[in-house]
Structure formats: C-alpha cells, structure tokens
Amino acid sequence: MDQDILLQTYSPIDNTLYVERPFAESRQISAIVNRLQTAQQAWRSLSLPEKIQLCAAALKRLQSQQHEIAEELCWQIGRPITHAAEEIRSFAEQCSYLLQIAEESLAPLPISSDSTLIRYIKRIPLGTVFIISGCHYPYLSLANTLIPALLAGNTVLLRHSHQSPLCAERLVAAFKEEGMPDGVLEYLHITTAQTRELIASKQIDYVSYTDQYGVNPAISQQLVTSAKPCYIELSGKDPAYIRHDADLNYTIPQVMDGAFYNAGQSNCAVERIYVHHTLYSAVQEKVSRWIKQLVLDRPNLPETTLGPLVNQAAANHVRNQLKQALKQGATPLIDPNHFKNAPPHSPYVAPQVLTNVNQSMAIMQLPTQGPLVTITPVNYDAEAIALMNDCQFGCSAGIFTEDIESVELIGERLNTGTIYMNRCDLIDPALSWQGCKQSGIGSSLSRTGFDQLTRPKSFYLQASSGSKTSDHWMLKVAN
C-alpha cells in the first residue's frame, strides 16, 4: 500500500515499525461524523446516572488492562515500562472524580423565584466534540475533556497522535464493550489536512486540542483564528522557584521529577529553575547527584528510569536548543559522557542542566519538551517573579518554601494558570486546568470543564394573570 495513505508509527525504542494503519478515506470520515450526529439526541436523552454507570464500567475495564496498555505506551512513545501503567491509574482517578461531581456540575442553576415566576439556567450539550490528543500523555490528556463531554450529552470523536494510535483504539473498544451505543464515541486515524477539514466542518461543534511544541502549528493556528468554541493546551516553559527557606532534601527530588519524568515531555514540565543565591551551590550539587542516578536505556528494561523521546524530531529539537545555548555561553552541569546510551542521531537524549544562562537565550524563552533544564540564581522574590514572568508561556509555576503567605503573594503576581506550593508537574481534577499567554485557551477539569462543554439555556417561566407556577417545578429547579 502507498506510504502516503498509511499511518506508520515507528517505536523510539529501536526505530522499528510498531503500528501501521490506513488513513480514513473521505467517505469513512463522513459516515463516522454522520453517525455521531445521529446518535447525539438519543445519548443526550439518556439519564445522567446511566451515563455515569456506563463510563465507570469502561474505566474499570481499562484499569484491568493496564499492563497491556503499559507495554503499548512503552513501544509507542518510549515511556519506561515501570512508569507507563501510572498513566492509566492517573487517568482513571481524574475521570472518577469528574464522574463524582457531574450531577452537581450539570444541575440547572436556579435564580430567585416566587409563586408566579420561575427562572433558571440549564446546561445544554454542544453536540459533537472533536478531541485531538497529543502523544506525551495520550490517555491522561483525554481526561480533561472526554468524561465531561460524554456526561453532558455530547458525542465524541477521538483523533490521537500518529505516535500513539493504539490508545484511541483501545479506549473506544473499552467503552463499546461496556455498552456504549454506536456513534457516541468513535475514533478516526486521519492526516493533518483531514483534521483541519474536520475542525472547519459545521458538523463539529467543539474542539479540544492538546499539542506539544511545534508539532502541528497549522492546527493550532486554525483553531486560534476560528470562531469555533475550543480548548487548546499548548506547551509551557514552566518555572520553579526555590526560596531561601526551602528544605532541599525534599525540594530537589520534587523539582527534578517535575523536570525529568517522562524525559521532560510534558506541557507543565519544569524547564526553568530559579534559586535564592544562598542556596545556589548546594542546589547544583544535589541536582547533579540526583541526575547521575538516572538510568538512560531502552524503556522496556525494568531498570530504566529515563527513556527516549517520542521520536527523532523531538530529540533533534532538544539537541539543537542545547547546542545553541552552549554557543551563547551556557555551562553544562553534567558530563555528557556519564550517559553512554545516547547516540547523537537517535531519540535517546542525555539529561542536562545548564547554568550561566540569561533571559535572552532561546533556552529560557522557548519550550524544550525534553530532559534539559536551567538553573539561575536570584537575590529576592521580586527578581524571581520578574524572571518567571519573562516568558510568553504560562502553564504552571512551583514555589518551594515554608511560607504559605509568601506563596499566595507571589502567586498573585505570576502570569500562569496554576500555582503550586512545594509541588510541580501535577494535575488536580478538582482544580481548573488552563494556560495563559501562549500556553492555551479555555479551561478544563473541575466544574469549569463541564461549563466549557455545554451552553447555557435560560428559562423564564411567568405564570399568567391570576395563576401560579407549579410547586413541582419550583422544587425540581431548586434541587
């Protein structure tokens, strides 16, 4: 078959062809989209408890398959096998929380009423939701949108990254095996051009798009310039600030995990570290010691703690950013010869920390999405705030200190979507997840996620002269 009409996934482990699928033809795409539209009315009419029960059963089925899923993630995206199953556990936990808050989040909003007037706002499904998932966390990134979309009464179309196509297949199969009606949740393997056509289609009512830096700029640009409702999650350049009173024995493992877990491939990975000058030398020493205990090797080996990047293009981007920074005067903290399994023309990239950097460098301004982080000394909080804000990306920021009041004051001044104290690279489904500046548009998770996937419909019920509204309806709306 012609390579141009095939989706081909090469494993970053050894560059072997791991998955091959035909891209959908136009008639197949039309049939799927029509099926989604046809199924939406019946799905919308199904009671919320029935929807919740079905979704919960599907999540349980996926959890029972976590070992098989872990192996697939390992071979598709290079996640170490000892870490891969954690994604399904986190995915299930986030989705379970959203199931718990669904009834409250989707309930009508009552406005003050009396015996002659009832007013309320109801949440109405948008129609068909198109989820375009990235490859760094192909299941976890779905949690933000999938469950709220389905419970709100929308039908959902999945399009996974070409690096992780098996995730869409396995997820849809799990839901259908638990009784999901045909046409409610479907997937398509399609090209970027076909994806853009679907985004523009009047049959798609909402688009949720998670991307990594520079992977599909055409899709991002189309969504930004379109008038279609959407949620966009793009890269961050997230900072961590280690204040003078931080407990370094606790802080360093937290920050390093936030920087190097999944080889640094996360939209909320720590990429810039700012340290109070009194701790600068100690932080460098502890960071160096922590990194040298990493094991960079094939991710299907149980001893591996740092695997390859998802593909060669991602590795080239990190290496080019590192090379440019070194030319501009940055100093490497780690001897690259310490890690032997990082050939120059492979997805395996040795972890590195850079000092002697400044804000004018690309390494301080543009997302890296790899095992590369910088450390910069600061003299006081105001300087740290200015440097943390000196970037066009704003996903999250971590502040490591024992002073809660200072975190709140600093957090108020940071232009970022989420503020952490003594944590980083964490998503809490009870909190709204969103980026600011070039890190994204819209919000997901929490109650706000349900709001994004519905539209408000207002009811103004006025009794005629001499009559009263039904007590039944007043009680229903109030509850």
For 418, phi and psi rounded to 5 degrees? -135, 140
Mean pLDDT of 295-300: 97
For 407, phi and psi rounded to 5 degrees? -60, -45
Report the C-alpha gap between 185 and 150 in whole angstroms.
Answer: 8
Mean pLDDT of 278-304: 97
pLDDT tens per residue across span 370-404? 999 999 999 999 999 999 999 999 999 999 999 99
Q: Is the pLDDT of residue 1 over 90?
A: no
Give 380's DSSP letter: S
Q: Is the pLDDT of residue 184 over 60?
A: yes
Per-residue pLDDT, 477: 52
Mean pLDDT of 152-170: 97
Which residue stretches of 26-178 are H helix? 26-45, 48-64, 66-77, 81-106, 140-143, 146-151, 165-177
Q: Are strands 372-378 and 270-276 parallel, antiparallel or unpaired?
A: parallel
Q: Is the pLDDT of residue 311 over 80?
A: yes
Say if residues 228 and 199 touch (Cβ distance below 8 Å).
yes
**Active-site residue (options: 72, 87, 186, 233):** 233
Q: Is the pLDDT of residue 127 over 90?
A: yes
Prediction pTM value: 0.92
For 349, phi and psi rounded to 5 degrees? -120, 125
- Domains in the chain, start-ordered, CATH in brackets? 3-234+439-457 (3.40.605.10), 238-421 (3.40.309.10)
233 is catalytic: yes
Q: Is the pLDDT of residue 464 over 80?
A: no
Q: Is the pLDDT of residue 470 over 60?
A: no
Report the C-alpha gap between 20 and 10 in whole angstroms.
Answer: 9
Q: Is the pLDDT of residue 82 over 60?
A: yes
- Any residues with CB less than 8 A from the CB of 156 and at least 6 apart, and which? 36, 128, 129, 130, 131, 146, 149, 150, 184, 185, 186
Give me the residue label for tokens 């040298």. 292
Per-residue pLDDT, 3: 45
Per-residue pLDDT, 214: 56
- Any residues with CB less than 8 A from the CB of 454 and at least 6 apart, and which? 106, 123, 124, 125, 126, 152
Per-residue pLDDT, 156: 98
Report the C-alpha gap between 342 and 308 in whole angstroms.
Answer: 9
* Cα–Cα–Cα angle for 359, 361, 362, rounded to 5 degrees: 115
- Any residues with CB less than 8 A from the CB of 312 and at least 6 apart, and which? 12, 15, 345, 346, 347
Per-residue pLDDT, 150: 98
Per-residue pLDDT, 215: 58
Per-residue pLDDT, 35: 97
Q: Is the pLDDT of residue 8 over 60?
A: yes
- Mean pLDDT rounded to a whole number for the chain: 92
Mean pLDDT of 57-83: 96
